[in-house]
Each structure stands twice: as structure tokens, then as C-alpha cells.
Amino acid sequence: MVGTTITTTKSKDVNNKTGVQTDEKKQHFDDIYICDTPVPYKIRILDALSYVSDDFNQQMFEAHIAPVFEKKSSAANTKTINYVDLCSCFGNTTMATLHGMGYEEIRDNWSNETRCMTIDKPRRTFNDQSTAVTAIDISPQAMKYGKTVGLYDTTIVCDLNNRTSNEFKLTKEAMSNADIIISTASLVYLELETIAELMEAFVTGGSENGMMLVNFLNPFALEKADATKRILLSKLDFVASRATRHRRMSKLEQDNYPGEEWSLLELWVLQKKSKK
């Protein structure tokens, strides 16, 4: 499948309020996200911090989202399923949900610079109905990798907190056309206004049965997480939730949150409100 890449540049103006919004108590890995492959991500995050949460993302997807689209596609629906990975990075959660790969399988697949250039398992179909994957992230390197190895069909490199850019407009169009959206452990980096605008695009778009898998981090930025939940619940219906381990906390994080060893995660599944 021929895909598309749309690129913008992250603002470096410290007085500009766009760019990734960070919690200073949380560990950040900016040097990893500018690498050309996910191998450093695997070594320093998946390995060193036991980033196990994609096992649970996979389970939530299989339990609550996949059956809906299996049923839809079995009803003689020939429309391609549009899947959007929002703040996707190198694509480990897409590997979990659309390629059926668990934490250990992803680690093995990303074990070296050669292995990572081929995805070990094929992309799933829903009763032979194809899936078109759009990935959106601020990292050009991650988007290029995902496109090269076939995880993504279309990529949008975008500073999502710059809501006046053409790339943000294209992101809203992708959200509007989406049947499935995943955004795992990443909404914490977005301004609340960005989240609200993207969710509005999704809920007013063309798909009647659109669904979303989203993660909330703990103990980071809890007030912002609560505000994000209120935005989502104002626009979408709640389907299911689960609380799990996410990853081990770094030394910086353990110093900032004494007595804590694991970052925890709430996984939510939501769907568009019924039009009846």
C-alpha cells in the first residue's frame, strides 16, 4: 500500500507555548525519540524499565474493540477500517494491537538493528477487511521507521500543541475519518485544548461506531489526567477500564515520588455516543 508522509518542525522557541508539554517529575527520553530505529527505545525503556503495559493494551483491544469490528466487517461492510495511532512513537502499541504481539515478542523483534527492520507478525484483518494505519507523532525518525517497516501507511509529523499548523489540520481530518484510535500513555504531553479539539474532530466524523483505547498515567500529572477524563467523557461513552502496571519508575521518578517503584496505568475503552 502506498502511504503518505506529512512533516512539520517542532518549535524551538522557548517563549512559544507549543511543543511537548512535560511534567518535570517524570523521566523524559528525548534522545531516544530522535534515533533512527527503536533499538535504543527497547534497551532503555522496554528492557531497563520493564515496560509491560502493551500486554494489557493488547488484551483490552481484543476484549472490547476487535469484536466490534469483526462483527461490522462480517456484515458485508467493504469499507477499510481506519486506525489512528495518536502520539505513536516507534509503534510498539500498534504491534501489540494490530499485529498481536506481546511485550516479550516486541522486545525480541527490536533486539538489534537488523531484526527491527522486519515486523515478525503480519497486520491483522477483521474478517478479511483491511486496515489503513495513520500514525501521528512529533518525531520524524519514529515516523520514518514505522513507514519503512510497514507498521504505518500514512504518517503525520506534527507538533500537536501547535493548533494553527497545516499538519494539525491534517491530523484533525485523520481523527475525523478514524474508526479506531489508540493513544497510550501519551495524552499527558498534550494541552487540554489540543485534546478537546482532536476529540471533537473524532466524534463529529463519519464513522458511526468509532472506538478509542486510551491510557492514563499514575502518579504523573494527576490533575491533568482528571481534566482529560472529563473531556473524553463529555464527548464519548465509557465502555470498560482496567488498572495495571505500566513500567518501573526511573531513579529520577523514584526520587520525586519516594516509596513508589512502578508507574501504573488506567486503560480505558470508549466509543462514540449513540445518535439514537
DSSP state of 126: B
pLDDT 10s digits, 113-137: 999 999 999 999 998 889 999 999 9
**Contacts of residue 177, Cβ cutoff 8 Å, sequence gap at least 6:** 82, 205, 206, 207
Strand partners, 44: none
Strand partners, 134: 84, 154
Is the pLDDT higher at 195 or at 256? 195
- Tell me how far apart the alpha carbons of residues 237 and 267 are, in angstroms, rounded to a whole number: 14
- Tell me how far apart the alpha carbons of residues 98 and 133 are, in angstroms, rounded to a whole number: 9
The whole-number pLDDT of residue 2 equals 36
pLDDT 10s digits, 1-54: 334 444 433 333 333 344 555 555 655 667 889 999 999 999 998 998 888 899
The whole-number pLDDT of residue 177 equals 96
Q: Any idea which of 78-87, 143-152, 259-268 has the lowest mean pLDDT?
A: 259-268
Domains of the chain: 56-99+122-243+267-272 (3.40.50.150)
pLDDT 10s digits, 163-189: 999 999 999 999 999 999 999 988 988
Average pLDDT of the chain is 86
The whole-number pLDDT of residue 257 equals 73
